[in-house]
Amino acid sequence: MRDYGKFYIGGEWVQPTDGTPLDVINPATEQVAGRITLGTAADVDRAVEAARTAFETYGRTEPKERRELLSAIVAEYKKRSGDLAAAVTEEMGAPTKLSETAQVGMGLGHLVTAMKALDSYAFSEDRGTTRIVREPIGVCAFITPWNWPLNQLSAKVAPALATGCTMVLKPSEVAPFSAYIFAEILDAAGVPAGVFNLVNGDGPTVGAALAAHPQVDMISITGSTRAGVEVAKTAAPTVKRVHQELGGKSPNIILDDDAFEKGVKIGVASVMHNSGQSCNAPTRMLVPAARMEEAKKIAQAAAEKTTVGAPDSEARMGPVVSEAQWNKIQDLIQKGIDEGATLVSGGTGRPDGLDAGYYVKPTVFADVSNDMTIAREEIFGPVLSILPYDDVDDAVRIGNDTDYGLAAYVSGSDTEQVRSVASRLRAGQVNLNSAQVDLSAPFGGYKQSGNGREWGDTAFDDFLETKAVIGYTPAES
């Protein structure tokens, strides 16, 4: 059993001030996998003080130095990739193959992308007699979730390190193991003391203390829209920068052409990926009303081919992360049934043969209207809603009829039509015809999906302040 009771503050593993032990549950077995300590505001004070002290030096480093540091981190990360994958599987139940490839790979990808972006990013430029300088914002606080623990962690830590910021991380208390190994990686790579600090805790205590802290210059949260709102409210009195990557209810418009069957199949698979626990999952599939029955048959077959089982098996889907999450998903599936959607596949309860673990049936609803609960709320599980549309204008209208705007998807054989539809969708990322992930592409949302952008060199902007030095270059007489 893992024992991660200490915090990483000022370059050392230290005892909490007065913390409360918390068991971490393996969602595949429902058994205790380890224990952490929930921190307090006093622990946050210590970590922020260490980060503030370190910023006096690290904030003045050159891009070349920071690139070398990121290179060392990448090397250490690769050495510990097996440990990271095992931790992710144990803490959140991701299938072993998914942990080894996507979960660990995304974290590495953000580190490499930030490192390479330093080669060309302009931290200063001259405009006439004025020099415009982009300087690190200072001490950053990070609140990260459990669903893609390494991806979300690296998406914040990598640009912060690249731009010269120092930081305090509060990983999810539900899935904290991989963050501890990540801290060990940074320590082994030679990250200066106080540049990176880790304090465990829950949102109402440690999260709120970070958001309210007067010595924190920026707070970045990935989580639910509800949590993002609370962080913004708590941060408001100190007028710190608030960066949010929040919820989503992404539309997936399948156009009426010969790529229809492929689009439906891929759409189902995308929702089931990571057990549906992705904020950008294409959970609202929009199909021509005249082809709804065809879509049902294709989606049913695809869902029924999605195997569910233990993470160390060959199953494509493992459990969802916790009992609380399992119960929420069950309630929303039942809500879909009660509100009159057609249950095409799956439903409530565990899949056959799985009596322990937080496993959910791959579920598909059809004949869904956009005012139903399952079309409005983020379920965060392997549940797809299929909605009919009359024409392309109607599809765009329905697609945009959501409080969210994190991602959108369009598939079809007519490239120009696909691009045209994409241009009308109100979302931070629009994926065309299941294109591969691009880690240099800005990631973030419109509307209640958040503020700011992560990934690539665009992420640097949120970690920098802009200073204008007027008269830097004397005017020619």
Residues 87-116: pLDDT tens digits? 999 999 999 999 999 999 999 999 999 999
* Predicted local distance difference test score (pLDDT) of residue 19: 83
Task: Look up 279 and say whether it is catalytic.
Answer: yes
Geometric angle at alpha carbon 105, from 100 and 108, rounded to 5°: 130
Q: pLDDT grade, residue 466 (50/70/90)?
A: very high
Domains of the chain, CATH where assigned: 2-246+446-469 (3.40.605.10), 251-432 (3.40.309.10)
**Beta 241-245 vs 251-254: how paired, if at all?**
unpaired
Q: How many CB atoms lie within 10 A of CB 265?
A: 15
**Catalytic residue among 90, 100, 245, 378, which?**
245
- Flag whether pLDDT at 469 surpasses 70: yes
* Predicted local distance difference test score (pLDDT) of residue 131: 97
For 345-376, write each residue's pLDDT tens digit.
999 999 999 999 999 999 999 999 999 999 99
Contact 142, 220 (CB under 8 A): yes
* Predicted local distance difference test score (pLDDT) of residue 476: 76
Residue with tokens 């995304």: 106
Average pLDDT, the chain: 98
Average pLDDT (391-395) is 98
Residue type, 124: S
- Flag whether pLDDT at 429 surpasses 80: yes
* Predicted local distance difference test score (pLDDT) of residue 111: 98
Task: Look up 140 and say whether it is catalytic.
Answer: no
User: Burial, 207: exposed, middle or buried (Cβ in 10 Å; 0-12, 13-18, 19+)?
Assistant: buried
- Flag whether pLDDT at 118 surpasses 70: yes
* Predicted local distance difference test score (pLDDT) of residue 474: 86
- Flag whether pLDDT at 461 surpasses 70: yes
Give all strands of the β-sheet with 20-26 in edge-to-edge order.
2-4, 31-38, 20-26
Task: Give the percent of the chain with pLDDT over 70.
Answer: 100
Average pLDDT (224-240) is 97
Q: pLDDT grade, residue 475 (50/70/90)?
A: confident
**Catalytic residue among 90, 100, 173, 279, which?**
279
Average pLDDT (198-226) is 97
CA 207 to chain centre: 17
Q: pLDDT grade, residue 477 (50/70/90)?
A: low
Residue with tokens 């965060």: 380
